Amino acid sequence: MFPDSGFPEGKGPSLSAAKAFADLLGIAADYKKLWDVRDSGKDKGFYLNNFQNNLDLLIQKTWVEKADESRKENLQDKVQPFIGLIENGNYLKALEEFGSILEELAYLFFGAQCQKDDFAEYVLRIDPLMGLFWWYGWQINRNISWIKHADRDVLYALLLLGICYLTDF
């Protein structure tokens, strides 16, 4: 989905790659359900609400050093505007914000380890599915210039991967 050499000229990630990645992450059923209702809004608001509640819970319940409490608060403040971007259909901006949210969430979970080059490998050793998820998050930030060329459906598909995974985390 995110090749090291970037995407072929003029092409970004594909819908089929996103669907296959959802299968790998074990979120295929939720991913398909949300994909099928993407334009109707049916269940979308409910699922986004569940996502927001779970993300808030993950942030609030993560233990951090006193010096990092402000990071938790700042991250908490980013969640509602991020949800608003999705609800307004601004998927590119939402994906950019999601990359930032995932970076901060990784820091809350793993501390400075998440800033090392071998972070994805580190998490893969802890839990392979979680490692794949954090690899996905890292790739969003690393490949945002290529992702910007993706069409609206692909941008939404990439968002759904993270939303579905974190809702069930």
Specify if 5 maps to a domain.
Answer: no
Specify if 105 maps to a domain.
Answer: yes
pTM: 0.85
The ranges of the chain with pLDDT < 50 are 1-10
Specify if 124 maps to a domain.
Answer: yes
Listed in sequence order, the DSSP H helices in the chain are: 15-25, 28-36, 44-61, 69-87, 91-110, 119-126, 128-142, 144-147, 152-167
Domains: count for the chain: 1
Specify if 2 maps to a domain.
Answer: no
Q: Please give the pLDDT value at position 8.
A: 43
* Full 3-state SS string of 35-64: HHCCCCCCCHHHHHHHHHHHHHHHHHHCCC
Specify if 152 maps to a domain.
Answer: yes
Q: Please give the pLDDT value at position 168.
A: 86
Q: Please give the pLDDT value at position 62.
A: 82
